A and B are shown apart, each in its own frame.
Chain A
Amino acid sequence: MIASIRARHALGRTVKGHALVAKDGFSARYDLDRIRGVFSRPAHKLAGQSYVDRILVLDTAKGGVATAWMLHEMKSRGIVPLALVLNSVNPILAQGAAFAEIPMLAGFDLDITEAVPNDAHVEVNPSTRTLTVIAER
């Protein structure tokens, strides 16, 4: 275990997985090809990369309200992130995560996109509001 980082906001169950990290925003409608399970907006820093079963570590929620339904729809097909971790979220992302039962952490005293190495093995534990880096890849 390398580091444990505490969040101010949390919901959902505890999960472990590999982080996909970028200092960029997140919107299911604006950024994703939800059929193929990849980031599709050309200007996004994760363009072309798969988000499926990854713990997304991003800067902030962007864009519109559709994410609230879309996370639920993505979950029904299994083409969905394992968890969402952001410096800042808007209500839509929190509502969507709650509705789709996707674990989420948000609000840190540091820039979470700089604190977590890309592809690190991490644990998201909403009950303790912590993200723990278990191993760097």
Chain B
Amino acid sequence: MKLNDEEQDILAGKQGSVRQQALRHQMDVGDFFGAADFVPVTQAHIMADTESLGEAGVQYLERLAAADESQRKVQVPTITDPRGTDFSKASMLGQSAAMLELERRAIAAFVKLGVTMTDTCINYQTVQAPTRNEHVAFGDTGVVIYSNSVCGARSNFEGGPSALAAGLTGRTPRYGFHLAEQRYATHHIRVDFAPASLNDWGALGAVIGRAAGNYWSVPVIEGIEQAPRSDQLKHFGAAMASFGSIALFHLVGFTPEAGRLSDVADTRLPSHTITHDDIVRLQNSYRGAESVDVVVFSAPQLSLYELRDLADLCDGRRFKVPLLAVTSPQIKPDADRAGYTARIEAAGGHVLSGMCFYQSYAREIAEANGWKTLATNSAKLVNILGGYGYDPMLASMEACVEAAASGKLRAG
């Protein structure tokens, strides 16, 4: 990779060993993908829950944090994805003292590195959305696909070590979706129905993700006639990224790079039509049981509007099985002030903040609570939780709330 004078200095250790180590890691990745040089970034976002970090990852962070203060601080605003717990709800989840101690150590190390603990995977709704052509280094696949697609920003998937490296050096290797030529459509999708619920949007994203296949695929979608809401595109993108490792989609007429199909694709690109039956099949493939052990709304964290809708559905109910709604630390105070938290909890639900269900020792909390069958309206979550030993079921928010009250998920 071609290095400028500042990068040569960092590599030579003139800005300390922490940035030197970070740049070396970035060069390994850049060389792997054939990056010509680095591109400056304005923000970084780090996924680093302690289930992923483990003891080894936390020790790595602590070693970086032990460096001299002048050499260890991030160079651009650097924020965090959800943590592995909501400390105020940890005992309800059945998390152990060791999990919480690891979490505290990770947080302390991040703070010493100058990282801002936002603990959110919806920073584009709650902290600061990137702008078109803004180069950023974002972790969390849902954050990346939304930022690239809906905001027109430029980011690759940046895993925790790489996002932290980008924060420390203020740059990232220029490859993938930082390049204009990578952003043209490879798959042309037509949708012949109007998705309505969030689980419909998630299922549509899942079907497109599976069809598109891998990270380097860019679907362009036609057939959506009404402007989608942010929460709908949040579930759509998160599922597409989860099922297909997709980092960018274009929605003709709505996303900023695709005013017309021809802006992002050869108009002769063959199209593939996705029908309502396709998303029904996808949703039915996650309906293996009737009884429900736990209901979860998470992945991505809920917006204020989702919590409002959930509170409306909770009024007058009394839940038989736990219902968990997970949001960000930025949204939670507003939900408290608006009374949504109290209404959800009056029905027996729990509103958690700053974590995400699957990033919070999902296997261990299942064992601690005897949870096996789980109902959710998140297509992303059902895709992830099979590997953690759950039988996850995908349904509408309304059906999930009904399941929390009755203990059974109705068919259809």
List the interface of chain A (C-beta within 8 A of B): 9-11, 25, 29-33, 40-44, 60-70, 72-73, 75-77, 88-92, 94-96, 98-99, 104
Query: In the bound complex, do residue A64 and residue B141 qualify as a contact, i.e. CB atoms below 8 Å apart?
Result: yes
Selected A-B contacts with CB under 8 Å, 28 pairs: A9-B33, A10-B32, A11-B28, A11-B31, A30-B386, A32-B387, A40-B387, A41-B386, A43-B386, A60-B245, A61-B245, A62-B244, A63-B242, A63-B383, A63-B384, A65-B140, A69-B47, A69-B52, A69-B54, A72-B54, A72-B60, A73-B54, A88-B214, A90-B157, A91-B158, A91-B159, A98-B28, A98-B29
| A contact residues around B47 at 8 Å (CB) | 64-66, 68-69
Q: Interface size bucket, B side?
A: 35 or more
Query: In the bound complex, do residue A95 and residue B161 qualify as a contact, i.e. CB atoms below 8 Å apart?
Result: yes
The answer for the CA separation of A44 and B363 in the assembled complex, in Å, is: 18
Query: In the bound complex, do residue B245 and residue A65 qualify as a contact, i.e. CB atoms below 8 Å apart?
Result: no
Q: What distance in Å separates the Cβ of A28 from its nearest Cβ neighbour in chain B?
A: 8
Nearest chain-A residue to B177 (Cβ)? A91
Choose from B29, B159, B387 the contact partner of A41 (Cβ within 8 Å).
B387
| A contact residues around B139 at 8 Å (CB) | 65
| B contact residues around A63 at 8 Å (CB) | 141, 242, 245, 383-384
Query: In the bound complex, do residue A31 and residue B140 qualify as a contact, i.e. CB atoms below 8 Å apart?
Result: no
Q: What distance in Å separates the Cβ of B135 from its nearest Cβ neighbour in chain A?
A: 14
B162 at the interface (CB under 8 A from A): yes
The answer for the CA separation of A33 and B387 in the assembled complex, in Å, is: 7
Q: What distance in Å separates the Cβ of B269 from its nearest Cβ neighbour in chain A?
A: 20
The answer for the CA separation of A90 and B247 in the assembled complex, in Å, is: 10
B196 at the interface (CB under 8 A from A): no
Known: A30-B384, A94-B32. A72 touches B161 (CB 8 A): yes
B97 at the interface (CB under 8 A from A): no
Among the interface residues B49, B57, B358, which one has the most CB atoms of the partner chain A within 10 A?
B57
Q: What distance in Å separates the Cβ of B3 from its nearest Cβ neighbour in chain A?
A: 18
The answer for the CA separation of A66 and B387 in the assembled complex, in Å, is: 14
Query: In the bound complex, do residue A68 and residue B159 qualify as a contact, i.e. CB atoms below 8 Å apart?
Result: yes
Query: In the bound complex, do residue B55 and residue A90 qualify as a contact, i.e. CB atoms below 8 Å apart?
Result: no
B339 at the interface (CB under 8 A from A): no
The answer for the CA separation of A43 and B28 in the assembled complex, in Å, is: 33
The answer for the CA separation of A77 and B59 in the assembled complex, in Å, is: 14
Query: In the bound complex, do residue A30 and residue B387 qualify as a contact, i.e. CB atoms below 8 Å apart?
Result: yes
| A contact residues around B242 at 8 Å (CB) | 63-64
Q: What distance in Å separates the Cβ of A40 from its nearest Cβ neighbour in chain B?
A: 5
Q: What distance in Å separates the Cβ of B99 from its nearest Cβ neighbour in chain A?
A: 14
Query: In the bound complex, do residue B162 and residue A64 qualify as a contact, i.e. CB atoms below 8 Å apart?
Result: no
List the interface of chain B (C-beta within 8 A of A): 25, 28-29, 31-34, 47-49, 51-57, 60, 81, 139-141, 156-162, 176, 213-216, 241-245, 247, 358-359, 363, 383-384, 386-389
Q: What distance in Å separates the Cβ of A81 from its nearest Cβ neighbour in chain B?
A: 16
The answer for the CA separation of A98 and B30 in the assembled complex, in Å, is: 11
Q: What distance in Å separates the Cβ of A61 from its nearest Cβ neighbour in chain B?
A: 6
| B contact residues around A70 at 8 Å (CB) | 52, 54
| B contact residues around A60 at 8 Å (CB) | 213-215, 245
| A contact residues around B53 at 8 Å (CB) | 69, 73
| A contact residues around B358 at 8 Å (CB) | 29
The answer for the CA separation of A98 and B19 in the assembled complex, in Å, is: 16
Among the interface residues B28, B49, B159, which one has the most CB atoms of the partner chain A within 10 A?
B159
| B contact residues around A76 at 8 Å (CB) | 54-56
Nearest chain-B residue to A25 (Cβ)? B245
Query: In the bound complex, do residue B29 and residue A91 qualify as a contact, i.e. CB atoms below 8 Å apart?
Result: yes
Among the interface residues B60, B157, B242, B247, which one has the most CB atoms of the partner chain A within 10 A?
B157
Q: A63-B383, A69-B47 are in contact. List 9 more A-B contacts (CB 8 A).
A: A33-B363, A40-B389, A64-B141, A68-B161, A69-B54, A69-B161, A72-B57, A72-B60, A94-B29
| B contact residues around A10 at 8 Å (CB) | 32
| B contact residues around A64 at 8 Å (CB) | 47, 140-141, 241-242, 384
Known: A29-B52, A65-B141, A69-B160. A95 touches B245 (CB 8 A): no
Query: In the bound complex, do residue B56 and residue A98 qualify as a contact, i.e. CB atoms below 8 Å apart?
Result: no
| B contact residues around A43 at 8 Å (CB) | 386
| A contact residues around B241 at 8 Å (CB) | 64
Known: A73-B54, A98-B28, A98-B29. A65 touches B386 (CB 8 A): no
Known: A65-B139, A65-B158. A90 touches B54 (CB 8 A): no
The answer for the CA separation of A76 and B25 in the assembled complex, in Å, is: 18
The answer for the CA separation of A31 and B162 in the assembled complex, in Å, is: 22
Q: What distance in Å separates the Cβ of A29 from its nearest Cβ neighbour in chain B?
A: 7
Query: In the bound complex, do residue B384 and residue A90 qualify as a contact, i.e. CB atoms below 8 Å apart?
Result: no
Choose from A29, A91, A92 the contact partner of B384 (Cβ within 8 Å).
A29
Choose from B60, B140, B244, B383 the contact partner of A30 (Cβ within 8 Å).
B383
Q: What distance in Å separates the Cβ of B203 from its nearest Cβ neighbour in chain A?
A: 17
Q: Which 6 pairs show the lowest CB-CB distances between chains A and B?
A: A68-B159, A73-B54, A76-B56, A90-B215, A41-B387, A69-B52
